[in-house]
Chain A
């Protein structure tokens, strides 16, 4: 069985028709991981016992002739910021190095309930803070397309595992671009759903007004299948929305002719790599040729998105990460004589450089005398950024942009310059701040064979339209596996 050609439907049918067993497939993936992952570094923890137990259960159902659920036997990987009961979960941080969660993240539980086989936990930037995966406390991830380059971040392991055929689908999380940017860098599909579309129960919090869970897959249809599985209200997450979940897969086949697609000049300005520009402009023309109407739109506050994001995200992070104090779980500094010293040493020793930088920035922005100047100001500019999209979506059904201003950069290239690393998120943070959904799909390659991503942004709770546009593009022009 050729692992690179496997999609969710292909696996499910093969297991249903008993052409393969879920068990042999999981074992084949583990063999592949053991062979290829040492040079990539996508997996942090393998959950073999749990995976093989699930696979055996699926195989038993198949033997009985039961109708198998949509993800039956599908080998998946989970970003290590999502809790897995009994399976070590570290959020890429030393501070949670030995943490064994006592319950499952809802999104993971829903994947397993739909038949998915969880192979293991995927590498990521520490607490999902980063754009290159170099902030993992354990090891960096190498881009499977060029091992000297980063896979993007923070869901770098999730993107690399799909790109290197070490999982059929993975879950990632997106706070400033962390699903879409690595998807773009590794040449896979990455979907960030609307804020509230997918429960965050069991997701280790980074910035709660922004964090979202979504799939990384080889095809748009697989992304639609995973979204259909994990979306919908969860009583354990008060921010999960009580909005009906459409059949995203059925919606894919609706025609795109007549849809209005916005193109914003603010996403094609200075700093956009010429090869990326050419590829994305050509993708827009192809969508026009498929019958979409291309409409110029303006998102005038785009240049303020990065400074807004780095105030709000770090302020929320400084609060969320206060829980790592060495008392109830996680790392504890052993040499402290008082409680206060124990807190400070635990956090000083347990957190990595970037996490400390963000806690410091966020704490500063929230501290007395600076709250109005930074935090409140950024919240107001967030309103302006949201209004930009509200205005644009009065005239268009979706907006198409580059996912990232460049293709994957080299490992080490930006590590010493946090600001230049932050600017890698310039086209993705806007959707996080506004709460709208976005998808990145491969739309071409640079002359060095590095993937380029096309981003499609949609209205709140209108994942169906962006998936449909992405599917139409992929069907006509997609890279064939």
Chain B
């Protein structure tokens, strides 16, 4: 049977996901992704041409049944105010978990690769 996912696909997807994988990990993922996607193929037994997608539970079950889409979330909207529901984290607190910082900014390795 033709494999859905090739070694090249695994490398490409790992790239998209920003994951550095070892050769051993890539081999295992090649096997697992193919086996899982084969199983997932059974979804194609169903004709869903006329079926709308469900992205959120509230797409179907809003609080106010007469409203659709984002209207159903109307209860969660509020006026913009300068300070929101909660004040922003103080600067030092926002930085306290940083792997590297200079006290003002997060520090990262060189951004421009040449």
Contacts and interface: CB of A to CB of B under 8 A. Distances in A.
Given A360-B10, A381-B46, 14 more contacts: A103-B89, A195-B57, A209-B55, A240-B76, A243-B63, A307-B39, A328-B94, A328-B97, A332-B100, A338-B111, A339-B110, A344-B19, A345-B20, A381-B43
Interface in A379-395: 379-384, 386
B54 A364 contact: no
A377 interface: yes
A273 to B, nearest CB: 21
Contacts of A306: 39
Nearest to A351: B19
Interface in A233-264: 233, 235-236, 238-243
Given A377-B43, A379-B53, A356 B110 contact: no
Contacts of A341: 20, 109
Interface of B: 5, 9-10, 12-14, 16-22, 25, 28-29, 32-33, 35-37, 39-44, 46, 48, 51-58, 60-61, 63, 73, 75-76, 78, 85-86, 89, 93-94, 96-100, 106, 108-111, 113
Chain A contact-residue range equals: 35 or more
B53 to A, nearest CB: 3
B96 A342 contact: no
Interface string A367-380: 10000001011111
Given A376-B53, A386-B54, A460-B61, A340 B10 contact: no
A242 B106 contact: no
Most buried by B among A196, A241, A360, A386: A360
Contact of B108 (A238, A342, A380, A434): A342
When A and B form their complex, which 5 residue pairs have the shortest distance between CB atoms, in order from nearest?
A435-B57, A348-B20, A379-B53, A329-B97, A332-B99
A241 B56 CA distance: 13
Interface of A: 98-100, 102-103, 195-196, 209, 233, 235-236, 238-243, 301, 303-304, 306-308, 310-311, 318, 322, 325-332, 336-345, 347-349, 351, 353, 356-357, 359-361, 363-364, 367, 374, 376-384, 386, 418-419, 422, 434-435, 460
A233 B73 CA distance: 12
Interface of A is mostly: helix
A329 B18 CA distance: 17
Q: Which of B18, B85, B89 has the most CB of A within 10 A?
A: B18
Contacts of B94: 102, 328
A347 B54 contact: no
Contact of B109 (A310, A338, A386): A338
B36 A384 contact: no
B29 A339 contact: no
B40 A347 contact: no
7 contacts: A241-B75, A348-B20, A363-B17, A364-B9, A367-B12, A376-B53, A380-B52
A385 B96 CA distance: 44
B25 A383 contact: no
